[in-house]
Amino acid sequence: MINPKRVIENKDSLAALKRRGVPAPLLVELKGQYETVRSHTVKLERLYAERNVAAQKKDIVAGKKVKVQIEKAEAERNKETIAFEKVLARIPNIPAPEVPDGKDESGNIEQRTWGAIPEFSFKPKDHIELGGDLDLIDVHRASRVSGSRFSYLKNQAVLLEFGLVRLAFDVLGKEGFHPIVPPVMIRKEIAQKTGYEEAVSETDAFALKNDDSFLVGTSEQSILPYFQDEILLEAQLPYRFVGFSTCFRREAGSYGKDVHGILRQHQFDKVEMFSFCTPEQSNNEHEMLLSMEEKLTQLLELPYRVMLMCLGELAAPQAKKYDIETWLPSQKRYRETHSTSNCTDFQARNFGIRYRTKSGKTEYAHTLNGTAFAIGRVLVALLENHQQKDGSIRIPKALADYVGFSEIKPK
């Protein structure tokens, strides 16, 4: 959730939320509820003071009287606090000033490109044709077993997956990232606190009703709560994780899109970066996560572009987001393969994740996340961009060092 005091007392924050599309009546309601809770808190503080005076004077009659008043006042404040938090939950994060206006992807702004788009002297194949010819991917048998949007990875494709994981862990380990394999199932209350509507939507997430839990759509959802209700030390920050997990998504809003192949699946593996830091470190940390995404993509020799996402492309917890879109020859366009988001203190407030400053004061941490490798999408880009005229696939040297081969030849 947002810091309500920052919104109510800061005109720039109010203007930013209005720019994001938050209705003015909702902001008025937020301010009204905030003032109501604050007035109840002031009343309680006065009653607590009266109770202390009665205790000091050993005035039993006055003590009993103020005790009844306190119980009533606490019940009233708790009731108003619940109402206030319901309003607060409807307010998204305050966007960074540089986030562009826009309702959809047309409002995103290209920051830069890297790498030359490949030119082929032959008609290039898509990844499914390549995967079939080279016995790397089988979606047909997977559909008979599990339905659409599932696949079997086979032979060298399996080695490529684990090579990508090792490459990411080695590169990020040198930057102080701690390796972690998080749970892929989270309780409903945890999913709700992440702030992502899709995390608890049964049309987007896979719900385990008997357990009142959900399968994660990204390991961010289970790494984020690692430090819930804990206080870190400022000297520990930034604290960075690199996690590997299988992820699950219904892809309910993508009917008819990317049905062919493994670009958009119900089950996929991913290496995810996550960082806890101070507000002062937050902006630089976001740029660092983006630089790591670019470094990994460059090691795979894949052409890409960096996009600054507009307001309409931000989920509720995100204050700023970049996407990396990699070139796919079969589609003759860039497609999203990575994203990195700065969620400031929005999620940390939900989970009570704080840090103690050098002066002894406690503050809420900032949380950031970023894709290292979404395995399926990276395999698509690798196969298509590095295919050769004879039907083989060239493996970039950085990855070849991990898998033990520099090309995949036709059978």
Active site residues: 249, 264, 336, 339, 377
Residue 87 burial by Cβ neighbours in a 10 Å radius (0-12, 13-18, 19+): middle
Question: 3-class DSSP state for residue 301?
Answer: coil
- Measured distance CA(169)–CA(293) in Å, rounded: 12
Q: How many C-beta atoms lie closer than 10 Å to residue 30's C-beta?
A: 22
Q: How many C-beta atoms lie closer than 10 Å to residue 404's C-beta?
A: 10
- Find all residues with CB under 8 Å of 129, minimum gap 6, and list them: none
C-alpha angle 159-161-164 in degrees, rounded to nearest 5: 105
- Measured distance CA(55)–CA(167) in Å, rounded: 66
Task: State the chain's maximal CA–CA distance in angstroms.
Answer: 96
- Measured distance CA(64)–CA(107) in Å, rounded: 63
- Measured distance CA(218)–CA(198) in Å, rounded: 11
- Residue 378: name the closest of 340, 335, 314 by CA: 335
Bond into 179 cis (ω within 30)? no
Q: How many C-beta atoms lie closer than 10 Å to residue 134's C-beta?
A: 21
Q: How far apart are the first and last CA of the chain?
A: 55
- Residue 320: name the closest of 296, 287, 295, 294 by CA: 287
- Residue 304: name the closest of 371, 246, 244 by CA: 371
CA dihedral 292, 294, 298, 301 (to 10 degrees): 130
- Measured distance CA(304)–CA(290) in Å, rounded: 13
User: What are the structure tokens assigned to 204, written together?
Assistant: 């987007």
